[in-house]
Amino acid sequence: MMSALFLEFFKIGLFALGGGMVTVPFLFELSDKYSWFSSQELVDMIAIAESSPGPIGVNMATYAGFKTSGILGGLVATFGLVLPSLIIIILIAKVLEKYKDSDFFKRLMYAIHPAVIALILNAGTEIGKLVLINTWAISICILFWGAIHFIKLHPILYIILGGIIGIALKL
Amino acid sequence: MLFDLFWSFFKVGLFTFGGGYAMIPLLQAELVERKKWLEEKEIMDYYSIGQCTPGIIAVNVSTFTGYKLAGIKGAVFATLGIVTPSIIIILSIAKTINLFIDNTYMEHAFNGIRIVVIALIFDVIIKMWQKNIKTKIQMLIFIISLLIALWFSASPVWVVIGAAFVGLLLTRK
């Protein structure tokens, strides 16, 4: 059971490319293949993973593992998920150490950086469409942006403040 | 150093609400501005590579940073740091999770937090733009990537790979 859980999440860590939500189709497959959790439970899992702190993909793995076989399951699934990243990134980082000052790498990043900024903007816009739904939300967002831009406090403080304001204004 | 790394990534993990993009403002504040462990450009490099290598972006970026600062041990400690808050929180609320989902206070708090996360991301985008988009070629790559992401909801992986090819062609000597 534990080795199956580990292997399945190792596979997800190896083949899921990109943001946290890309693990979702893999988890649907798991709900089909095993009786670990139902697809209905999976929908709840997504809601939880999105609304608790931490990267969504990691939250999904921990919760799915917990559903399957308790606390140990949560640990095993999370470990399985991150192990491929750990191995692959360490290998890439070793290679990068050698070539990071090369002309080729600089040219590569010269082109990739603008694309990545576009992708982040796209992600921000997607979330923005869901969250900035009325003039209230938009004005609060602009006020926060002003504060963030001109009074440079740690983002953690703004995030906490956002939570408090959300409760105070019943957003 | 190892504990410092763990603790910095623990904080980032604890306050990341959303996908990997939501961690960028935190990484910049913590690793570039506060600890001065990395340069802004390096975070961009790691994020770019983390986006098109297997695995969760947030984990990839953590592993990268940890390795750069303290080798393999550093990679392990940074990765442990980023996942530990998730493990603690999810495992401790898992049984009573419905209390949290249906709790109206939590909902209001999260709605407030999401607004802040958007403001933080847009601020970071402005900073990144100023530092990284300097030529017409880069501007062109930015616009085309954005349009492709918006219209075709293409996977980020293909956008990055496509940009790499176009860039290498255009900067050929």
Percent above pLDDT 90 for chain B: 50
Within 8 A by CB and 6+ apart from B13, the residues are A53, A54, A55, A58, B58, B81, B82, B83, B84, B85, B86
| B95 and B148 housed in the same domain | no
* pLDDT exceeds 90 at position B154: no
pLDDT value of position B98: 66
Q: Do B67 and A167 touch (CB under 8 A)?
A: no
pLDDT value of position A19: 62
A55-66 core/surface letters (b: 16 or more CB in 10 A; e: else): bbbbbbbbbbbb
Q: Do B79 and A171 touch (CB under 8 A)?
A: no
Rounded CA separation A110/B152 (Å)? 24
* pLDDT exceeds 80 at position B19: no
Q: Which tens digits make up the pLDDT trace of A53-105?
A: 888 889 889 988 998 889 999 999 999 999 999 999 999 999 988 998 899 98
CA terminus-to-terminus distance, chain B: 43
- Full domain range(s) for residue B173: 133-173
| B82 and B122 housed in the same domain | yes
Sign of the CA dihedral with B86 first, then B114, A143, and A166 last: negative
Provide, as residue numbers in chain B, all residues whose Cβ is less than 8 Å from the Cβ of A110. Answer: 138, 167, 171
pLDDT value of position B100: 67
* pLDDT exceeds 90 at position A9: yes
Chain A to chain B, count of Cβ pairs less than 8 Å apart? 345
| B139 and B101 housed in the same domain | no
Q: Which of A30, A5, A25 is nearest to A81 (CA)?
A: A5
pLDDT value of position A67: 87
Provide, as residue numbers in chain A, all residues whose Cβ is less than 8 Å from the Cβ of B94. Answer: 63, 66-67, 74
Provide, as residue numbers in chain B, all residues whose Cβ is less than 8 Å from the Cβ of A82. Answer: 55-56, 59, 79, 83
Q: A2 vs chain B: nearest CA distance in angstroms?
A: 17
| B48 and B21 housed in the same domain | yes
Interface of B with A in 121-140 (CB under 8 A): 121-126, 128-129, 132-133, 137-139
**Range with lowest mean pLDDT among A110-114, A127-131, A138-142:** A127-131
Q: Do A148 and B24 touch (CB under 8 A)?
A: no
| B146 and B119 housed in the same domain | no
pLDDT value of position A89: 94
H-assigned helices in B19-155: 24-27, 40-51, 57-93, 97-101, 104-132, 136-152
The chain B residue lying nearest A11, using CA atoms, is B55
Rounded CA separation A58/B119 (Å)? 24
* pLDDT exceeds 80 at position B10: yes
Q: Do A109 and B150 touch (CB under 8 A)?
A: no
Q: Which of A168, A170, A163 is nearest to A51 (CA)?
A: A163
Rounded CA separation B20/B108 (Å)? 23
Q: Which tens digits make up the pLDDT trace of B45-72?
A: 998 888 888 888 889 999 999 999 999 9
| Domain residue ranges of chain A, discontinuous segments joined by + | 2-99, 103-168
Q: How many domains does chain B have?
A: 2
Best of A102, A116, A158 to disrupt the B interface (most B CBs within 10 Å) is A116
Q: Do B15 and A108 touch (CB under 8 A)?
A: no
pLDDT-derived band of residue A20, with 50, 70 and 90 as boundaries? low
Q: B56 vs chain A: nearest CA distance in angstroms?
A: 6
| B85 and B160 housed in the same domain | no
pLDDT value of position A39: 80
Percent above pLDDT 70 for chain B: 97
Q: Do A108 and B167 touch (CB under 8 A)?
A: yes
| B111 and B137 housed in the same domain | no
| B126 and B142 housed in the same domain | no
| B36 and B61 housed in the same domain | yes
Shortest CB distance from A163 goes to which of B58, B112, B143?
Answer: B112
* pLDDT exceeds 90 at position B142: yes
pLDDT-derived band of residue B101, with 50, 70 and 90 as boundaries? low
| B26 and B65 housed in the same domain | yes
**Range with lowest mean pLDDT among A38-42, A84-88, A153-157:** A38-42
Query: Are B36 and B107 a contacting pair, CB within 8 Å?
Result: no
Q: Which tens digits make up the pLDDT trace of B20-33?
A: 778 889 999 999 99
Using alpha carbons only, what angle is made at residue B155 by residues B48 and B130, rounded to the nearest 5 degrees? Answer: 40
